[in-house]
Amino acid sequence: MISVRLFAVPALVALLGAGPVLAQQSLNGMITGNDVDRIAELARAYGTIERREDADGVWLRGEMDGIVYTISFLNCNDAHQECTSVQFRAWWESNGAHSMDRMNQWNRDRRFSAAYLDANNNATIEWDVNLAGGVTATNFDDSIQWWQAVVRQFREQVVDPGFEAAGMAPSAPSTSATPSAPPAARSK
């Protein structure tokens, strides 16, 4: 017979490990595409985050676990408001180290996220979150946790091995202001 303690100890450790994150923020209320500051607050529990703005509207630049990423507000009205989704994105300047085959394999094996080589052949991963009608703060925080797990796995299983196979040192993610994307990607 398996002891209940074998299950209780890992569960307790996981709960205590999540404690500081949960203690830093309130997970009450709803999140919509207009809640830029609230989304930044939730993301800040996992690393640095800063608000930025350009001609396409407001977006967030974050860093967690040494990985730079952005959160873009999508499907917005002409005033860049009432956005119904957000997109998490991270990318690495590949310099030819990553292949379409690896991106396709990632996409075949994963339910959450999409990986591709962008217009500059940079290894890129995205994660879309639907906010139409709003989601609970707890749900959005869970999405951030999924993003953290997915982007870590992408770095460990695709990015770093690609650089190593090409005889390059694993690279830090791109720190450029925004990833290359079609200009219409943020609007309806």
CA-CA-CA-CA torsion for 45, 134, 84, 34, nearest 10 degrees?
-60
- DSSP secondary structure of 25-84: S---SEE-TT-HHHHHHHHHTTSEEEEEEETTEEEEEEEETTEEEEEEEESB-TTS-S--
| 142 in a structural domain | yes
Token pair belonging to 111: 């339910």
- Would the pLDDT of 48 be above 60? yes
List, for residues 153-164, the tens digit of each pLDDT value. 999 999 999 999
| 184 in a structural domain | no
| 44 in a structural domain | yes
Cα 97 to Cα 82: distance, rounded to the nearest angstrom: 39
Cβ contacts of residue 26 below 8 Å, gap of 6+? 137
| 186 in a structural domain | no
List, for residues 119-135, the tens digit of each pLDDT value. 999 999 999 999 999 99
| 119 in a structural domain | yes
Residue 112 confidence (pLDDT): 86
Full domain range(s) for residue 95: 4-179
- Would the pLDDT of 173 be above 90? no
| 24 in a structural domain | yes
Q: How many domains is the chain partitioned into structurally? A: 1
- Would the pLDDT of 79 be above 50? yes
Using a pLDDT cut of 70, give the percent of the chain over it. 77
Cβ contacts of residue 124 below 8 Å, gap of 6+? 89, 90, 91, 92, 115, 116, 117, 118, 179
Phi and psi angles of residue 153, each rounded to the nearest 5 degrees, phi first: -60, -40
Residue 143 confidence (pLDDT): 97
User: 12-16, 44-48, 99-103, 149-153 — which is least confidently predicted?
Assistant: 12-16
CATH number at 65 reads: 3.30.1460.10
| 29 in a structural domain | yes
Mean pLDDT over each residue of the chain, to the nearest integer: 83
| 185 in a structural domain | no
Choice between 50 and 184, residue whose per-residue pLDDT is larger = 50
Asked if residue 31 lies in contact with residue 134, where contact means CB atoms within 8 angstroms, the answer is yes
